[in-house]
Amino acid sequence: MHSNPTLIGIGSPIVDAIALVDESFVAQIDGDKGGMVYVDAPTVSSLIASLPKAAITTPGGSAGNTLFALARMGASTSFLGKIGNCAEGVYYRDSFSSLGGDTSRFKIGDVPNGRCLSLVTPDGERTMRTDLGAAMTLAPEEISVADFAGCAHAHIEGYLLFNEALMRRVLESAKEAGCTISLDLASFEVVNATKSILRDLLSNYVDIVFANEQEGNAYTGIEGDYAAIALQLAELCEIVAVKVGAHGSYIAHAGIVEKIEPVHAARVIDTTGAGDLWAAGFLYGWSQERPIAQCGELGSILGAAVVQEQGSVLPENVWQDILSNI
């Protein structure tokens, strides 16, 4: 890759509302704790209205979290996704632009911007309810090779797998434009729902896969042996990173597995965005052609930093500290 290659992220540009709640609040809503469920806009609004204390708002979305961090690290970034024709859409675009991100590839929808309510329990686990809004209206025919012009690498969030036609169009266009491709598997629900197409897509288009232990287990059926999960996925693509939180991460490439020790987090407040920021650290190192283990260490530094904050946006003093050490 060249000196500052452009990394383009593809996903849903969603505005996050992050709320600290107790276990009983999560227990009384539908769905499993720790999962992500799609709901309609009124449901998100009524949940926000019923919160015991106000949520904080930040730009979000899986690919968005990765891209915002990459942009803050000084990488050349662009975003392909659909924002709403509303104040939240403008907020998202302007937030990305303020970090130097290229906003020219955003599509603008005619419905409000997507929102995700992240309910964070005292154990730091997040339970998400998402209304994709304008992001869901992105259609395959709106995507072309031209969207990837000048980009060296495309990072795709796994939630796109729910729309197979869109995912295939994105993968084909990125590949045709000469991009290398990474895919974050997003959640165990995504893997379980799309297992039938994953093998084909991973082996034909994807160079790097990011997964956590739940996603890796959902795909391989292997439980607890993270190196084995990474190696099985690596039969399909070049590099596989299995992120196991406080147990570090396992990166399979070239037939071997490298164990990356975790960076200790003094206190875990909120795991929102931990995997997304891990991917940002890894991709930052990888785009600079650093050794794989060093890429994983950068991922661990960012992942450990973000779990000590509420939400997926790191405060400026934390960034200063990180950037002075990488």
Query: What pTM was estimated for this model as a whole?
Result: 0.92
Per-residue pLDDT of the chain (326 residues; tens, 9 = 90+): 446 899 999 999 999 999 999 999 999 998 889 888 889 999 999 999 999 999 999 999 999 999 999 999 999 999 999 999 999 999 999 999 999 999 999 999 999 999 999 999 999 888 999 999 999 999 999 999 999 999 999 999 999 999 999 999 999 999 999 999 999 999 998 999 999 999 999 999 999 999 999 999 999 999 999 999 999 999 999 999 999 988 999 999 999 999 999 999 989 888 878 999 999 999 999 999 999 999 999 999 999 999 999 888 999 999 999 999 88
Asked if 282 contacts 241 with a C-beta cutoff of 8 angstroms, the reply is yes
Cα gap 254→230, rounded to integer Å:
12
254 φψ region: left (φ > 0), alpha (ψ -120 to 50), beta (else): left
Question: In the chain, where are the structural domains located?
Answer: 6-14+60-113+133-323
CATH number of 6-14+60-113+133-323: 3.40.1190.20
Instruction: Report how far Cα 14 is from the mean position of its chain's Cα atoms.
Output: 11
Two tokens, residue 64: 């968005």
Render the burial of 104-127: b for 16+ CB within 10 Å, e for the rest. Answer: ebbbebebbbbbbbbbbbeebbbb
Kindly state the helix (H) or strand (E) to which residue 37 belongs, with its residue range: strand 36-38
